[in-house]
Amino acid sequence: MTPDDATRKMQFLFQLRSKGVTDSRVLKAMEVTDRGAFVKGHFADRAYDDMPLPIASGQTISQPSVVGLMTQALGVQPRDTVLEVGTGSGYQAAILGQLARRVYTIDRHRILTREAEARFAALRLSNITVLTGDGSFGLPDQGPFDRILVTAAAEDPPGPLLQQLKPGGVMVVPVGQSDTVQSLIKVTRRIDAAGYDYEELMPVRFVPLMDGLPRD
């Protein structure tokens, strides 16, 4: 690592802490997961800025502080199985892969899942399974899940995903009816599986959660 790389990494971590990312395991996972490996083209030189950046298929890679805060709210444990809805560049799934036993990530855009799978292979992240499909239905064949993270905004927490949470499990999902008014919500399934508790975390802006598959 060059002195410039070390300085950049220190600034990156300081930026995360200043925005409220304080969990040591999350910070370590974000330290070892190089965001630069997930940003290419004209925006490669902005990979370490705390800002969302465009990627293929009209999607975005979320700003690092939001990724950190969402991951922190999820509270992933080492033996957990996690479902991520909305693979995008694969950056969020790569961080989850550092924290969980197994990660399933699903996206409706085949071009994105192919690229993410190649990145995971290059980074030797063998505990991440990538699928192309309609993430709003989750993965009932692989559930129930300890944790579910949704990286696109739904009008309400999707029912099929709620049903795929284990008792005591946690889902973090952006909720809102427009791209200008969204809230990040933490949903915890009660231990007796009789209901859910909801906590509003912070305002966010995400692309909408779409159903079906596009022609790409």
- Active site residues per annotation: 62
Of all helices (H) and strands (E), which one includes residue 132?
Answer: strand 128-132
Burial pattern 121-133, b for ≥16 Cβ within 10 A else e, equals eebebeebebebe
Contact 130, 113 (CB under 8 A): yes
Q: How far apart are CA 99 and CA 96, in angstroms?
A: 5
List residues bridging with 175 in a β-sheet. 154, 183
Q: Tell me how crowded residue 177 is: count the other CB atoms within 10 A of its CB.
A: 12
Q: How far apart are CA 134 and CA 109, in angstroms?
A: 9
Q: How far apart are CA 44 and CA 101, in angstroms?
A: 30
